Amino acid sequence: MNPTPQFIQIYQAQADHIREELLSGLRASKAHTSPKYLYDELGSKLFEAITCIPEYYPTRTEALIFNMHGHDMAKQIPAKSVFIDLGAGNCDKAASLFNVFHPARYVAVDISVDFLKGSLECLQRQFPELEMSGVGMDFSSELTLPAGLALNPAQSKVMFFPGSSIGNFTPEEALTFLKQVHGECASAAGGGLLIGVDLVKNKAVLEAAYDDALGVTAAFNRNMLLHFNTLAGTNFQLEDWKHIGLYNTERSRIEMHLEALRDVTVAWEGGERQFVEGESIHTENSYKWTLTGFEDMLKRAGFVACIAYTDPEQKFAVFWAKA
């Protein structure tokens, strides 16, 4: 067995393209950005801190569900499959399941191969028998696994998308994405999707999770302004902006915004945008699903059978969706 993981980088957006995307969102009448810009180096660390705060229940609850139901899941999920981890990050979640699902191969996909390298090489030393590959790609708008992976068509594929990351897609984007996932894992060899989904619940519980007492989520959101300054050359000042995390009941989503505390002019080379006090930049949506609503979407995406595993309070669900 080759003890060195294979790495493939598909495409990295160019600095000019990123700057133009950010500035066009800033110029829009309702200013907005893509939540992917929350994750610079500090933003990723702040997100890790969020997963530890008492109010942010999703990470803990998902881990509880895997503890409670992992062995039942393993009866449904084909063993000796290729385990494809979408948004693998530090690979910890998938690694904690290797001894439950016994995959034959592990493919970790993340926006940056550089970020994956350290974790995957370390993981390979822990699991020398398991073939591992890292793929650097932004699959949020298009998911096609690279031919360079040389996946064996006779081997089943299990796609893994934990953490309720699907909540950061609009329902339309989520359906398109799930169809692409289905296209990747459907084969005569069997296969499917293991996905974590945050469920609709009491507004106060949701809002506390996205506006915690310690202010970690506020720091995570406001840090995007510093990232913006780095990527687009803007002159955002942290003291002009406050974090907002509110549940929009009609749309079943948490909305994060950055609200101007006073009239502010944001400038960059060749342009500027004025904000009046109280005006905001919409930085993230985090959709919450019902069990039936999400199952319905999985079926519309092409999955033939679904099992939902939940915690006793039904805060969160992990679906196994058979392709």
Amino acid at 136: G
Q: Least distance (Å) from ligand AVI to the CB of residue 234?
A: 22
Residue 153 per-residue DSSP state: T
* Look-up of token digits 């692409």: 180
Report the alpha-carbon distance of residue 253 to residue 211 in Å, rounded: 14
Q: Least distance (Å) from ligand AVI to the CB of residue 149?
A: 25
196 contributes a contact to ligand AVI by CB under 6 A:
no
Q: What is the DSSP string of 16-84?
A: HHHHHHHHHHHHSSS-B--GGGG-SHHHHHHHHHHTTSTT--HHHHHHHHHHHHHHHHHHHSPSS-EEE
167 contributes a contact to ligand AVI by CB under 6 A:
yes
Report the alpha-carbon distance of residue 247 to residue 253 in Å, rounded: 6
Q: Least distance (Å) from ligand AVI to the CB of residue 37?
A: 12
* Sole window of 15-23, 63-71, 118-126, 161-169 interacting with ligand AVI (rule: CB under 6 A): 161-169
Q: Least distance (Å) from ligand AVI to the CB of residue 147?
A: 29
156 contributes a contact to ligand AVI by CB under 6 A:
no
The residues pairing with 190 across neighbouring beta strands, listed in sequence order, are: none
165 contributes a contact to ligand AVI by CB under 6 A:
yes
Is residue 73 within 8 A of residue 309, CB to CB? The reply is yes
Q: What is the DSSP string of 266-289?
A: EEETTEEEEE-TT-EEEEEEEE-B
Q: Residue 164 or residue 280: which is nearer to ligand AVI going by CB? A: 164
Q: Which residue is nearest to ligand AVI (CB)?
A: 286
Q: Least distance (Å) from ligand AVI to the CB of residue 192?
A: 21
Q: Least distance (Å) from ligand AVI to the CB of residue 167?
A: 5
Q: Residue 172 or residue 269: which is nearer to ligand AVI going by CB? A: 172
Report the alpha-carbon distance of residue 293 to residue 50 in Å, rounded: 27
Is residue 130 within 8 A of residue 4, CB to CB? The reply is no
Q: Residue 7 or residue 210: which is nearer to ligand AVI going by CB? A: 210
Q: Residue 50 or residue 158: which is nearer to ligand AVI going by CB? A: 50
286 contributes a contact to ligand AVI by CB under 6 A:
yes
* Sole window of 69-77, 162-170, 179-187, 273-281 interacting with ligand AVI (rule: CB under 6 A): 162-170
Q: How far is CA 165 from CA 147, 160, 161, 170, 196, in A?
A: 25, 11, 7, 11, 8
Q: Which residues within the stretch 203-222 sit at the binding site for ligand AVI (CB under 6 A)?
A: 210, 217
Q: Least distance (Å) from ligand AVI to the CB of residue 66?
A: 16
Q: Which residues within the stretch 21-80 sit at the binding site for ligand AVI (CB under 6 A)?
A: 50, 58
The residues pairing with 241 across neighbouring beta strands, listed in sequence order, are: 260
Residue 234 per-residue DSSP state: -
168 contributes a contact to ligand AVI by CB under 6 A:
yes
Is residue 284 within 8 A of residue 170, CB to CB? The reply is no
* Sole window of 10-18, 107-115, 163-171, 314-322 interacting with ligand AVI (rule: CB under 6 A): 163-171
Q: Residue 268 or residue 294: which is nearer to ligand AVI going by CB? A: 294
Among 211, 284, 295, 311, the residue binding ligand AVI under the rule CB under 6 A is 284
Q: Least distance (Å) from ligand AVI to the CB of residue 53?
A: 9
Report the alpha-carbon distance of residue 213 to residue 225 in Å, rounded: 21
- Interacting residues with ligand AVI (CB under 6 A): 50, 58, 163-165, 167-168, 210, 217, 284, 286
